Each structure stands twice: as C-alpha cells, then as structure tokens.
Structure 1
Amino acid sequence: MKTTSTTATVRSGRAATRMIVCVGMLAAISTILMLFEFPLPFLAPGFYELDFSEVPILIGAFALGPVAGVLTELVKVLLNLVVNGTQTAFVGEFANFVMGCMFVLPASLIYKMKKSRKHAVIGLAAGTVTMSVVAVFINALVLLPAYAKAFGMPIDAFVEMGSAINPAINSLWTFVVLAVAPFNLIKGVLVSVITVLLYKHISPILKGNL
C-alpha cells in the first residue's frame, strides 16, 4: 500500500513539473509570436494588430487542461510586460489577459468534455464568439478610454479613424461593433484553424508520450 501511494505521489509530482515546464515554454513561444503582428487595415485602424500568440496557449490548454491554459496566458502577459512595459498602467495588459482567457477557457472546457475533433471545433467556435463579444465591451469601457488618456487623445479620434475605413462608424459603440468585433472574429478563426492543424502533431510532446 505504501509503495502504491509513493508511486502515485511521484507520478503526481512529475505531472506537476511537466505542466510547469510546458506552461513556461508555451508562454515564451507565445510572447515571441506577439512580436510578429500585422494590421487588417480594411477592417480596423492600424493600432489593432493581429498575432498568433494564442495558438501555443490553446494547444497547451487542449493538451494539459483549462488551468494550464489560463496560467500560460498569465505568464505570457507578464513576460510581455518585461519585454515591452506598459503604456496604460497595466489596464491594457489586464484587458488582454481577460480577452485571452475568454478565448481559451470556453474552447478548452468544451474539448475537455469529449476529446474529439468535433468538440475541438465547437470549443474554438465558442471561444471565438465569446472573445469577440467580450472585446466589444472591454474596448468600449476599458481599453479605448485608457489609451485615450495615455496618449492624450479624445475618444472621437478613434471614431474618426474607424469612420475613414467604414463610413457606418459614427460613435464609440458602432466602432467596437463594426471594427473591433469583426477583427476579433477573424483573429479567432485564423488562430483556430492553425490550432486544429498543429495540435495532433504537438500534443504528444506536451503529454510526454514521445
């Protein structure tokens, strides 16, 4: 009985160590991917830039569970703070953490219910929609006011940038609905496709099955 208990403890310790190592590694990769950003000028002003930093986080969340996904998201934000600092007194970083979690958590929780490609796709779709909806409110109520204050700009300046792309944008809320939401939907779709294509190749490494 004692041997069995000791073996279980060792296995649990190894699993915890593997998770910590994987979280750190995936967060580092994610932070590097954040450096490679590109705008979608046909959809949103240039300060909205798309990156694929959520791909490693989603892969880790699928392989190791939702908790690992949230921890990786947190470490990514902290690493990015070390690399780039903050211009919004940590408001922007907190908002990005929340939006990332709103993508990763629904996706990984649904996939955890049944680990199949179908549930992965459903989870990623749910995560994409959730992130996009949350992004609307966070941008309108938190991010854009924070950036306006940080750079000494009126909120109307952002609306004018959006209006130059889409004439239907004439207020803060039309800006977030017609520019921010579609931007995040496209980001979610692209990240989801890459995650599905890569997951089966990378997950055995994270799970220690190689």
Structure 2
Amino acid sequence: MIFMQTQTTNPSGNKAHIVFDVRKLVFTALLAAISSVLMLFSIKVPLMPSFISFDFSDFPAVMASLTMGPIAGVFVCLVKNIINLFSSMTGGVGELSNFILSCCLVIPAGIIGRKINTYKGAVIGCVVGSVVMALLSIVSNYFLVYPIYENIMPIEAIINMYKEINPNVNGLLECLIVFNCPFTLIKGLVASVLCMPLYKVLRPVFNSYYRK
C-alpha cells in the first residue's frame, strides 16, 4: 500500500490576509488624501517669518506610521507633498523641507511604536520623533533647504526677516536654533496629540491582524 502525503493550506487565512492588505492600502490612501487637504490649509504664525506656516498635515502621517508601520507613514508624507507641488509658493522647496521633516517624525514614531507595541510605546515614539524632527530641522535647513531657497530669496533677506522678530539673533544657524527648532518641535507634538485618541481606538484592530 502506498501512502501519499499532501500539504494543506488555509484558504480562509490567506483570504483574511489579502483583505487586510487591501484595507491597509485603502486606509493609507485615505490618510494621504486627508493629509494633502490639511496641508493646503496652512496658518501663518506671528512669531515666525512669513514664508513659514503651520499646518496639521503630519497628523494623518503619524497615524499611518503607528498603525501600519513607518513605510506607510513615509508614503503619506510623499503623496501629500507631491500633490501640493502643484500649488507650491516656494518652487517646491517648502515641500522638500516638509517631506524631510515629516519623515523625521513618522519613522522614529513608527519604529518605536511597533517595537513597544503598547499605547505608551506609541506616545514614546511620537515624543522621540518630535525631538528628532526638531533637531534635524536645524541640519536639513542649514545644509540643504535654505541654500536651495537662496535661489528664490537671498540669505541676508531671510535673516533680516528673523531679525525683525528678534533683533538679537545673528546668522542663519542661530535663527534656526532660536526659531525653527522650537517651532518644529511644537508642530510634531501637536500632530502627535491629535493622533493619540484615534490611534487608541484603532490600535486593537490593527494588532489583531498583525498577530495572525
């Protein structure tokens, strides 16, 4: 008698995985669309130069990163800035800066949030991401963004705009430390605070699929 061994699969499990992947794709696209719209409604900040504005577009990107991983968060950051390129007032420089700094927020938040897979871990990830974004804003602006932006506006004119707010600042680096770093930190923390209530609701749903 010959016995044949066959390997069975779990079609229902595969189907559930496919359905979840589709949901992730749809949810990521939805968050990217929301982020793109929020980026259009920017707010001028009185204590910052006129070419710098505040928006809430990082909130959906943080949500994507915490629930589906940092790659999803980066995708949301990329899509929102590509869409807003068509209405850019800075020749794309503002969108470049936004993409870099948003990634500095969502990548640490997503990595730590998935590593410490608790609500507390998400909070820690968002705080770390906000600090990283604030510190790297000095580096990215000083070495990349502002040198490119100089093609639109001279550095001296940019520094003078900072000096109109605080005459005691001297040089671009000091302006970035005094103005941009705290501003960027606050922006990251605001996005994180807005994200937390919704993340608290969605986290069990996404975690139940990740454990499958």
Say if 1:208 and 1:36 are closer, same or farther in 2 by CA, change over 3 A. Answer: farther
CA drift of 1:81 comes to: 2.4
Say if 1:7 and 1:197 are closer, same or farther in 2 by CA, change over 3 A. Answer: closer
Looking at structure 1, the residues matched to 190 and 94 of structure 2 have their Cα atoms a distance apart, in angstroms, of 23
Looking at structure 2, the residues matched to 22 and 155 of structure 1 have their Cα atoms a distance apart, in angstroms, of 41
Looking at structure 2, the residues matched to 7 and 202 of structure 1 have their Cα atoms a distance apart, in angstroms, of 23
Query: If the length of structure 2 is used for normalisation, what is the TM-score?
Result: 0.85
Looking at structure 2, the residues matched to 38 and 133 of structure 1 have their Cα atoms a distance apart, in angstroms, of 22
Structural mapping, 1:94-133, within 5 Å: 94-133=96-135
Looking at structure 2, the residues matched to 198 and 14 of structure 1 have their Cα atoms a distance apart, in angstroms, of 22
Structural mapping, 1:7-26, within 5 Å: 7-26=12-31
In the other structure, the counterpart of 1:32 is: 37
In the other structure, the counterpart of 1:67 is: 71
In the other structure, the counterpart of 1:79 is: 83
The answer on whether the counterparts of 1:162 and 1:169 sit within 8 Å (CA) in structure 2 is: yes
Aligned match of 1:2 in 8, 12, 16? Answer: 8
Looking at structure 2, the residues matched to 81 and 15 of structure 1 have their Cα atoms a distance apart, in angstroms, of 31
Say if 1:205 and 1:74 are closer, same or farther in 2 by CA, change over 3 A. Answer: farther
Q: Given residue 56 of structure 1, which amino acid in structure 2 is its aligned partner?
A: P
Looking at structure 1, the residues matched to 190 and 90 of structure 2 have their Cα atoms a distance apart, in angstroms, of 28
Looking at structure 1, the residues matched to 57 and 205 of structure 2 have their Cα atoms a distance apart, in angstroms, of 19
CA drift of 1:50 comes to: 0.8
Query: If the length of structure 1 is used for normalisation, what is the TM-score?
Result: 0.86
Q: Given residue 32 of structure 1, which amino acid in structure 2 is its aligned partner?
A: V
Q: Given residue 38 of structure 2, which amino acid in structure 1 is its aligned partner?
A: L
Structural mapping, 1:196-207, within 5 Å: 196-202=196-202
CA drift of 1:59 comes to: 1.1
CA drift of 1:208 comes to: 9.5
The answer on whether the counterparts of 2:32 and 2:79 sit within 8 Å (CA) in structure 1 is: yes
In the other structure, the counterpart of 1:54 is: 58
How many residue pairs get aligned? The number is 203
CA drift of 1:140 comes to: 1.4
Which 4+ stretches in 1 moved above 4 angstroms?
A: 202-209
For residues 172-197 of structure 1, what are the alpha-carbon distances to aligned partners after superposition, in whole Å with 9 as ceiling and x for unaligned? Answer: 11111111111101111211211113
Secondary structure, aligned partner of 1:2: coil
Unaligned runs of at least 5 residues, structure 2: 1-6
Looking at structure 2, the residues matched to 26 and 72 of structure 1 have their Cα atoms a distance apart, in angstroms, of 7
Pair member with larger Rg? 2
The answer on whether the counterparts of 2:93 and 2:149 sit within 8 Å (CA) in structure 1 is: no
| RMSD of equivalent CA atoms | 2.3
| Residue identity (%) | 35
Looking at structure 1, the residues matched to 43 and 22 of structure 2 have their Cα atoms a distance apart, in angstroms, of 35
Unaligned runs of at least 5 residues, structure 1: none
Looking at structure 1, the residues matched to 77 and 70 of structure 2 have their Cα atoms a distance apart, in angstroms, of 11
